[in-house]
């Protein structure tokens, strides 16, 4: 993998390193983006410090172009994964 995006920040340094390590297989390098809400910032900074990580931080808001640039997100294609339309699919009543 060349990119790992944490949308639920790990609370343990070992978990963070395990996830981040997926970007560095077979001598390759990669990038880790950890999305953090303001209430998670202090704990996440502590976890990263314990993991020996010095993060580069960027403050963004949902929907900003900077967020897409950082995460590598692309605009949705509009095509459902199963090839059908949402209106044409039967509802799952067992859920």
- Mean pLDDT, range 59-81, rounded to an integer: 78
Residue 85 lies in a domain: no
- Amino acid 60: pLDDT: 83
Residue 91 lies in a domain: no
CA distance 3 to 27: 15
Residue 86 lies in a domain: no
Residue 26 lies in a domain: yes
What the block records as the tokens of 57 is 């931080």
pLDDT higher for 86 or 11? 11
- Terminal-to-terminal C-alpha distance of the chain: 33
Residue 33 phi, psi dihedral angles, 5° rounding: -115, 125
Position 94 confidence tier, pLDDT thresholds 50, 70, 90: low
DSSP 91: P
Domain with residue 22: its CATH number is 3.40.50.300
CA distance 64 to 91: 33
- Amino acid 91: pLDDT: 57
Residue 43 lies in a domain: yes
- Mean pLDDT, range 84-90, rounded to an integer: 56
- Amino acid 78: pLDDT: 76
User: Residues 16-65: pLDDT tens digits?
Assistant: 998 888 777 777 788 888 989 989 999 999 999 999 999 888 888 877 78
Residue 61 lies in a domain: yes
**Domain count for the chain:** 1
Domain that holds residue 41: 3-71
Distances (CA, A) of 60 to 6, 24, 43, 57: 15, 26, 19, 10
């Amino acid at each position: 993998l060349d990119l790992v995006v944490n949308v639920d920040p790990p609370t343990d340094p070992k978990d963070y390193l395990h996830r981040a390590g997926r970007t560095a297989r077979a001598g390759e390098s990669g990038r880790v983006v950890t999305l953090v809400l303001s209430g998670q910032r202090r704990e996440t900074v502590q976890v990263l410090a314990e993991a020996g990580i010095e993060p580069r931080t960027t403050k963004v808001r949902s929907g900003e172009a900077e967020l897409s640039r950082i995460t590598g997100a692309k605009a949705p294609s509009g095509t459902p994964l199963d090839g059908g339309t949402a209106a044409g699919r039967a509802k799952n009543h067992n859920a």
